[in-house]
Homo-oligomer: A and B are copies of this chain.
Amino acid sequence: MSTAIGFEIFLDASYDQSVIMVTEALKSEGFGVLTSIDVRSTLTEKLGEDFRPYVIIGACNPPLAYKALIIDPIVGLMLPCNVTVEAVPEGGSIVRIANPEVMMRAGSLEDNREMSEVAKEARVGLERVAGKLQSK
């Protein structure tokens, strides 16, 4: 379930249903959806290429994002937290959730104690989201 960059969950549900389940699980942990990129439509529109149903969701917990931006506005380069949902050709969907602590390490921001506490809080919340989805 855990990968180098975050969490990965297989859902035995259709793509559309999975997107709804993910959105609801995020909401239940205080993460709203700020952006949603329909990768399939984008690639069709821009390149005329076919791709499986795939969405990149930009999830954000506003109080945590606000805390992080106050500490160091460079953190905007790592916001929002990405969550992807991808249709599996054989059935079901793969959900991936980026781990904010890994992203903070990328930005060398983990040495800041306050920032690393915010990242930890976000990671714990998203881990709960992953757990809720896993148990479905």
Contact = CB atoms under 8 A, between A and B. Distances in A.
Interface of A: 3-6, 8, 32, 34-35, 37, 39, 42-43, 46-47, 49, 51, 54, 56, 58, 60, 62-63, 65-66, 69, 73-74, 76-80, 82, 84, 86, 94, 96-98, 102-103, 105-109
Name A's interface SS: mixed
Contact of A76 (B62, B84, B103, B109): B84
A65 B66 CA distance: 29
A37 B74 contact: no
Contacts of A39: 65, 69, 76
26 contacts: A3-B74, A4-B108, A5-B77, A5-B78, A5-B106, A5-B107, A32-B46, A35-B58, A39-B65, A46-B62, A47-B63, A51-B69, A54-B73, A54-B76, A56-B79, A56-B80, A58-B58, A73-B94, A76-B82, A76-B96, A77-B82, A77-B96, A77-B97, A102-B107, A105-B106, A106-B106
